[in-house]
Amino acid sequence: MKRVTVDLPGRPYDVVVGPGALGEVAALLADRRRCAVVSQAAVAPHAAAICGALTDTELFLIDDGENAKSLATVDDLCRRLAEWGLLRGDAVIALGGGVVGDIVGFAAAVYHRGVDVVQAPTSLLAMVDSAIGGKTGVNLPEGKNLVGAFHQPIGVLADIDTLTTLPEREYRAGLGEVAKYALMGDDALAAFLRERADGVLSRDTEVVTEVVARCAALKAEVVAADPEERSGLRATLNYGHTFAHALETTSDFALVHGEAVALGLVFAGELGRALERIDATEAAAHRDLVASLGLPVTLPAGARADALLAVMRRDKKASGGLTFVLRGPNGLEAVEDPPAPALEHAFRAVGVDVH
């Protein structure tokens, strides 16, 4: 078992990583009157480990998929919590992948103006990224995660055992976020992924625990320094995400998040190359790492640059135009409104029609 502390001023919390991490829930919530466990049907069997350790619990199920990330879902969940009698001093446990974590985290932020939440991620993507840091939210038809709140959990329980039943596509999608951390500039993580690729892809418990803990430590460091994206540092965690979120929206989420992030990383590498921020070798390293993890590096025919640009201009990081986080001589930086030829090069590199 590994522990990573998110050292927030006044309210630090631990990310517990390893097989059996859900067993830590009793120590974390032993003093709570009652706890609501919110999950989805596919992962609800993991709730037994939580409900058996606490005295007064209730399991609430929500729908699957990105389309469930809506204000309607939050409204329905909050009404069910109220009907059950959840009070402000109680707690909510988000048991599931990133969709569950985002919805439940946001509901916890607004229910009774804020109740404590424990994130219990059951997908690799959520373990390494979305469960840590308190960013919660739901989608609008106009874009992804446009309504949300910062609501830090009181703990994160990343139980590696829950990954054994994760469908192969979802597991590999989580590797898109793992690749992001490596390509943000963590050469040691990139080397580990190359050296232990077989263990990563076969879900070796020891290897995956190490990968999740390393990614969690990287995110914890950034979150502690910029918990609510005020300084711009935390925006660097969105490497590859401007393009990724636009892909998800324009494809009606036919691509899962990690696949879109993988393509976003290739796009970001090529855009950085076109702007001469990085060289061709470094841009190729983006493509090679993504491909080595079994993730897509080009889109199928039909994606259009004009539709993607329209969504990217509505991205949360944008300030009236286009904003990308890109690698460069000074590390990761926000780049505003890159010229059209550079964008066209990056679009073509991932198979997007620019006409």
Residue 178 placed within a domain:
yes
| Domain CATH code at residue 205 | 1.20.1090.10
Which comes out higher in pLDDT, residue 48 or 318?
48
Per-residue confidence band for 307, with pLDDT thresholds at 50, 70 and 90 = very high
Residue with tokens 């935390």: 234
Same domain, 150 and 236: no
Contacts with 65 (C-beta within 8 Å, 6 or more apart), sequence order: 99, 253
Same domain, 151 and 137: yes
Residue 343 placed within a domain:
yes
* pLDDT of 315 strictly over 80: no
Same domain, 231 and 345: yes
Residue with tokens 């890109």: 326
Last residue of a domain, one of 135, 150, 165: 165
Instruction: Taking residues 289-302, report their average pLDDT.
Output: 92
The total number of structural domains in the chain stands at 2
Instruction: Taking residues 302-312, report their average pLDDT.
Output: 91
Q: At what angle do helices 257-274 and 340-349 cross, to 10 degrees?
A: 130
Residue with tokens 């009404």: 79
Instruction: Taking residues 133-156, report their average pLDDT.
Output: 94
What pLDDT does 318 receive? 59
* pLDDT of 332 strictly over 80: yes
Sign of CA dihedral 327, 328, 331, 335: negative
Same domain, 240 and 208: yes
- Tens of pLDDT, residue by residue over 97-110, are 999 999 999 999 99
Question: In this prediction, what percent of the chain has a pLDDT beyond 90?
Answer: 86
Last residue of a domain, one of 116, 139, 165: 165
Same domain, 152 and 182: no
Sign of CA dihedral 251, 253, 259, 262: positive
Residue 140 placed within a domain:
yes
Same domain, 112 and 214: no
Instruction: Taking residues 225-235, report their average pLDDT.
Output: 85
Average pLDDT over the chain reads 94
Residue with tokens 């460069």: 328
Same domain, 25 and 173: no
Which comes out higher in pLDDT, residue 27 or 233?
27
Same domain, 74 and 175: no
Contacts with 280 (C-beta within 8 Å, 6 or more apart), sequence order: 273
Residue 36 placed within a domain:
yes
Same domain, 67 and 120: yes
Instruction: Taking residues 316-339, report their average pLDDT.
Output: 86
What pLDDT does 44 receive? 94
Residue 192 placed within a domain:
yes
Cα 138 from Cα 146, distance rounded (Å): 7
| Domain CATH code at residue 149 | 3.40.50.1970
Same domain, 173 and 148: no
Residue 355 placed within a domain:
no
> Which range is least confidently modeled, 81-90, 222-231, 277-286?
222-231
What pLDDT does 88 receive? 96
Last residue of a domain, one of 124, 143, 165: 165
Among 242, 251, 257, 235, residue whose Cα is nearest residue 135? 235
Cα 107 from Cα 355, distance rounded (Å): 42
Per-residue confidence band for 127, with pLDDT thresholds at 50, 70 and 90 = very high
Q: Are 12 and 229 in contact (CB under 8 A)?
A: no
- Tens of pLDDT, residue by residue over 166-201, are 999 999 999 999 999 999 989 999 999 999 999 999
What pLDDT does 162 receive? 96
Q: At what angle do helices 187-195 and 168-183 cross, to 10 degrees?
A: 140
Residue 354 placed within a domain:
no
Residue 326 placed within a domain:
yes
* pLDDT of 266 strictly over 80: yes
Its domain, for residue 88, covers 2-165
What pLDDT does 320 receive? 61
Phi, psi of 109 (to 5 degrees): -70, -35
Q: Are 302 and 341 in contact (CB under 8 A)?
A: no
Same domain, 224 and 271: yes
**Burial level of 276, CB count in 10 A (0-12/13-18/19+)?**
exposed
Q: What is the 3-state secondary structure (H, E, C) of the chain?
A: CEEEEECCCCCCEEEEEECCHHHHHHHHHCCCCCEEEEECCCCHHHHHHHHCCCCCEEEEECCCCHHHCCHHHHHHHHHHHHHHCCCCCCEEEEEECHHHHHHHHHHHHHHHHCCEEEEEECCHHHHHHHCCCCEEEEEECCEEEEEEEECCCCEEEEEHHHHHHCCHHHHHHHHHHHHHHHHCCCHHHHHHHHHCHHHHHCCCHHHHHHHHHHHHHHHHHHHHHCCCCCCCCHHHHHCCHHHHHHHHHHCCCCCCHHHHHHHHHHHHHHHHHHCCCCCHHHHHHHHHHHHHCCCCCCCCCCCEHHHHHHHHCCCCCCCCCCEEEECCCCCCEEEECCCHHHHHHHHHHCCCECC
Same domain, 79 and 174: no
What pLDDT does 142 receive? 86
What pLDDT does 15 receive? 98
- How many residues are recorded in the chain? 355
Tokens of 148: 């949300």
